[in-house]
Structures are given as structure tokens and as C-alpha cells.
Chains A and B, each alone.
Chain A
């Protein structure tokens, strides 16, 4: 068989010319190089450079210090506990919300999806309002405790478990379990030998993702951890902004990069397995609620209470004033918080909106191109490189981005220190992986035979793209735009490094208010957090309406 040029030039409909792939890849790759690779390399180099040249001394010093040991132990302990608790609550939740069938189920699924997109400072403030002295659960004494952080982590990640596991569970062919039952297996044995086996890839995949999110948690830990609890992320922030110890922060960033990359490798491996497993599922078969479902229903009810209670408290307390109830805190949004802030809260809202529009637009454009390149047929070495390059920042930690920007983009050749663009650039970098991960499955789910059908009907490649690919992708684009906008709006990890005092974003303002003493600051923080939450939820609701009915992945 000849493997010469004539055969290699031959392309199926939907196969793209290498030139098209190359041009599309150029822009996202350039962006990654300047705003991801360059800051990370600078940051790592910073960690290995002493006064007299290259040295391992600062890194070894930091790694050997008891404080670092404590922080790393706390990070791992929080991540492991948060993951385990999310799974224990989330697997029954997946069963109840996706395998059973009952009235109001869709509304509950929508409710569960809300926390994941809420800004971390909002979640932090909501749990503070719940657990602080004077709050509904204030008597438990959980404020600034390990338990408080774990609860907040579960609050965030519950939906990741429920949706990942639920999507698979809903599609499991129940006849397999029926066959086992007819062979004499009891319910427990059926669950252990059939159901759990089938769900294992989804559970593993969800666990890896949740671990990744917990290990890189920043906003909630900063707000809820007080002085006793921290993660590597909060420690980088503390060393940079409070102690101005940049070498230590750089060394810690290297620790975080290793931790995140390792987790990401595991997450990717399990995700590949899950995608294989999903293809094996048979016809879906939801079942009505039975008496034996009581334990799962109770656990799910508790979990839903955990989701609703902090948000309800946050809203309630934003209306509580010194003299009873009222809109005083909302009225104060037009002030600079009695001198705590440099601008009014509404001004910060405007800053946030403008920044988020720019960041989401950028992330969407780059993510569109990146997912276009990634969804093409892949052959050869160069294609493998594209793949790795785009997947690498998926596990990026926002704090690493912020800190990396801070130390690398502040001097020639690229001095953006005073540029307004720095924050949207950082937010776009944080949102980009979400956009790619939302668009890619939609693009890959397009049946290639639809393109073939269009081509045999005489459509040129450009028309095939415009009439088959684009309409199909539109559903994913709406959701991706929502994710990008909501993520940018609530972004705190990177923005907290980069926001200038005279131009803060809303999450930065909320954090500043909550970390200052005073009843008025606290009330204003509540009101500002409610505004932020409402904005984010509205954006996501609109996106969900435009997007596919059952959202993809996480």
C-alpha cells in the first residue's frame, strides 16, 4: 500500500487542512505562552535564585520549615476530608436526583448546580454568617474551625459528585441488575457487585476532580480559616501580600504546581476511563420512589439543607440592621463603607462587570479556537503537543496565575503593572480551561456522518462548518459563555493579587469588608455578597436556558 503524499493529502469531510489547524492554534498557543508559561517559568526560576546565583537553598529552607510542613499537612487533610465527605453525601444524592423519578426533581437538580458557580468569597461569607457568634449555628462553636472549612468545601463540590455520578447512574441499564437478582443476589450484593462496579469510574473521576478543587481552594479557606487553618494557596497569598517574602511564596508555588499536576494526571486518567465506560451504558430506566429508598432520601435531604442553610442565612442577615430589619445595608452599597473601602460598592460592581465581560469574551474566543483545534482528528507529534499544551492549564491554581503575573509582567519586555488589562487577562486564563472543557465534549459529540451527509449533498468544507458544526456548537457556546462570565465575575484568587486599591472588583471588596471588624462592615459585606451571588446566579440561569438541558461534565 502506498503511503505517499497523495494518500496523506486526502481528507475526510470534517478533517481539517493542517494550515487551518495551525492558524487556529496560533492565537491560543501564543496566549498560553505569554500568560501561562512565561509567568510560571519566572515564578519557578524565582524560587531557585538566591543573592549569589542559582541555588536550592530558599526552596529547601521553605520546605524544611515547620510552618510549611503544617500548611502542607493541613492542605492534604482538608482535601482528603472534603473529598470523602462530598462522596459520602454525593453518591446517595446522585441516586435520588438522577436514578429515581419524582415531582420537582428538575428543580432540585437546578438547586444543586447553584453552589458550584457561586464565588468563593460569597460561600465563605455565607458560612461565616451561619457559624459566627450570633448566627443560627453559632452555638456549635465551629467558626474558624476545620469542620467549617470542610462543610464549605462539600457545599461547593457536592454538585460535582452528584452530576458526574448521576449522569452515569441515570443511563445504567437496569436489566443487568435484574439479571443478577434473578440469579439469586440480594439487594446489597447487587449494589456491591453490579451497581458500584459500574459506577466506579464515575466515582473515581469525581473524587479526583473534587480533590483537585479542594487542594486548590483559596477564597473559602481565607475567609473561614482564620489564623489557624490554611492551605498552600492561602499561604502563598499570605507570604506575598502580608510578609512580602517572595522567595518563600515562589517555593510554595512550586509545591502547589507539583501537587496540582499530580492530581490532574490522576483526574485525566480516570476521566478517560469514564468516557469509555459511558459508551457502554444501555437504555436509561428511572424508577419511582420506594420505601427502601428512605436512607438515600434522608442523606440527600441533609445535604440539601447544607446547601440552602448558608445561603438563606446570608440573605436573611443582609436585611438585619441594628434596629431590626431593613434595607440599610443595601442603601450603604452606594457608600464606601464608612472609610473601609476606597470606592463605593456599586463602583466595584461596575468594575467587576466590565472586567468580567472582557475576560469572558477573551476566554470564549480563545477557548473556541482551542477546542476547535483539539476536536480535530489528531495525528502526529505536533498534534500531541497541542493536546498537552491546552490541557496543562486545566489544573491551574488561580493564586499561581495571580502571583505569576505579579512577578513576571511588571517589567520589560512586558510591563502591564499599571494596565487595566492585567485582571481580565488573569481571569480569562482562569476561565479558559472551563470553556475548553465545556465546548470540547459538545464538539466531539457531533456525529461525523452528519458532516459526511452535508459533503455528499455538495456542501464545501466552509459550508459544512457553518451549517453543521456551528449550529450544533451553539448550545455549548451559551453554557461556556455563562461559565466564563460567572467565573470571571467571582474570581478572587488571581484578582486579589492584581486588583489595584483604587479599582477593586466586587469579590475583593467583599473580602475587605469581611476581614475588618465592625457590625456595619459585616452587614455591608452580606449585602454585597448577596448582590454578587444574584449576579452570578442570573448569568448561569440564562446560560443554562441557552445551553443543553443536561449540562456537560462539571
Chain B
């Protein structure tokens, strides 16, 4: 048994030139757990996610998985996948080509089975041969979700995955996301500025402001006992 199963972020800082975007953040995501990082725009939450994924260099601190330091492991070897705000589907591949991208090297039959299984999971049966350019915004995000889960990542990082969609669709997709993550038991870090998404999805919520972690708590505790004025004000005003 490892000492600290899952993701551990220890005092991580991310800088852009002289600007410190993430300032000594410490956070953990346990097996099967969904943790939301909630903060206003510019709070550094996307930078934190990118640093965990390996897309941004860390100037201080370390990132570990099951106690093993992965801070300098290249992106493609970390086994963490990212679902981006606008999907970033590959325009030159079909839906099936996108979903199966991470399954390169597996036998064709297995690949096809897995793609079909995932498309069914996100409610897009039979969409495999379609070009991704013909999808609606909501469909594209569902394909992006299926693609991220295809290779059974050890951790899924979601970067505001629903914020480019309209409200009604967002409410529906939060449910799809939540059910899919629970069904696959995928641990996830969910970055958002929308507290209703965070409260609907997360086991625990981390509130980030100006690069600093203000509070980490389960939704009920957070609502009942905000750690300070800033957290209370942020939760109050964006409801």
C-alpha cells in the first residue's frame, strides 16, 4: 500500500515572468475522488491544472502520484489527460478517430469496441463515422470527454469544460459528466468559476484566489463555514 495514494500537489508555484500565477498550493486527489478548484477568472486555477498536467513548468514544489515524484515527467508519460474548455478536438479526424486517439497500438477490434463503449457512455451511439466539424457545442464536449477517458487515465483534469456552452446544456452535461466519472471511477480535478457546477459534482471543493488556496472542504462544510471573508463573498456573490 502506498503512503499517499492518488495525486498530491506539494507547495506548487507557477510563474509567468515576474508574475506568480500559482503561489505554493498544496492539494490532494484521492482514488475515485472528484475535487473542484473554484475561483474567479485570473485566480490561477487553469495554471495550476496545466502545471499538474505537465503543460506548464513548476518553479517551486512538486507533483506526485502514489507517492512517486512526476514533476519532471513529460506530459505524454504522466497518464493524466486534460479535457479543455473548447474541446480541442482534432478537426482532421472523425469522432471515432478522436475518441480512439489515445488507443494507438491496441488491436483494431479492441479499439473499436472501446470507442463504441465510450460513445454509448456519453450518449452518442453511432456518431463514430461523423466529422467532428459537424457537431454541436454540447456534442463536441461529450466527444472530448469520451476521448479523455478512452485510455483509462489515472487522473482526469477538466479545464472549465462547460463554460463555452449555454446554461441549459451546462446543467444537463454536469449530470452526464458526474455520472460518467462515477461510473468509470476516474479521479478528477475539475477547474471552474461556476460554483453550481462545483457543488453539483465535487466531493471536495478547493477555493483559489490570486494564486493562493483559501480553503479546501466538502460542499456542506464550505457553505456552512467559509474560512474567511473572501471565500464567503465569492460564494455569496456568484450564486
- Chain A residues within CB distance 8 Å of chain B: 1-2, 6-7, 10, 12-13, 447, 449-450, 452-461, 463-464, 467-468, 471-472
Contacts and interface: CB of A to CB of B under 8 A. Distances in A.
A13 B81 contact: no
B101 interface: yes
Contact of B81 (A456, A463, A468, A472): A456
Given A10-B72, A456-B81, A1 B59 contact: yes
Contacts of B75: 13, 452, 455-456
Contacts, number: 76
A1 B60 CA distance: 8
Contacts of B104: 458-459, 463
B28 interface: no
A446 to B, nearest CB: 11
B57 A456 contact: no
B234 interface: no
Q: Is the interface of A mostly helix, strand, loop or mixed?
A: helix
A452 B75 CA distance: 8
Interface centre among A2, A455, A464 (most CB of B within 10 A): A455
B53 interface: yes
A460 to B, nearest CB: 6
Given A454-B101, A471-B90, 9 more contacts: A1-B60, A10-B57, A452-B53, A455-B74, A456-B54, A459-B101, A461-B76, A467-B90, A467-B101
Given A457-B102, A459-B101, A452 B79 contact: no
B84 interface: yes
Nearest to A456: B82
A449 B92 contact: no
18 contacts: A2-B59, A6-B72, A10-B72, A13-B55, A13-B75, A447-B88, A450-B90, A452-B53, A453-B88, A455-B54, A456-B82, A457-B76, A457-B151, A458-B104, A458-B151, A459-B104, A461-B76, A464-B76
B55 A12 contact: yes
Interface string B75-119: 111111110100010101000000001101000000000000000
Contacts of B72: 6, 10
A457 B59 contact: no
A455 B79 CA distance: 10
Nearest to B77: A458
Interface centre among B79, B92, B102, B157 (most CB of A within 10 A): B92
A334 B78 CA distance: 67
Interface of B: 15, 53-57, 59-60, 72, 74-82, 84, 88, 90, 92, 101-102, 104, 147-148, 150-151, 157
Contacts of B148: 456-457
Interface centre among B78, B82, B148, B151 (most CB of A within 10 A): B82
B61 to A, nearest CB: 12
Contacts of B101: 454, 457, 459, 467
Interface centre among B57, B60, B76, B104 (most CB of A within 10 A): B76
A461 B76 CA distance: 8
Given A12-B55, A459-B101, A452 B151 contact: no
Contacts of B59: 1-2, 7
Nearest to A9: B72
Contacts of A455: 54-55, 74-76
B88 A450 contact: yes
Interface centre among A458, A467, A472 (most CB of B within 10 A): A458
B88 A452 contact: yes
Contact of A453 (B56, B84, B150): B84
Nearest to A472: B92
Contacts of B157: 456
Contacts of B78: 456
A1 B57 CA distance: 12
Interface centre among A7, A13, A457, A471 (most CB of B within 10 A): A457
Contacts of A472: 92
B15 to A, nearest CB: 6
Contacts of A450: 88, 90
B76 A7 contact: no
B55 A7 contact: no
Contacts of A447: 88
Nearest to A11: B74
A472 B79 CA distance: 26
A453 B82 contact: yes
A452 B101 CA distance: 13
Contact of B55 (A456, A458, A461): A456
B57 A7 contact: yes
A241 B185 CA distance: 80
B147 A457 contact: yes
Contacts of A12: 55-56
Contact of A460 (B60, B76, B92): B76
A458 B101 CA distance: 9
Contacts of A1: 15, 59-60
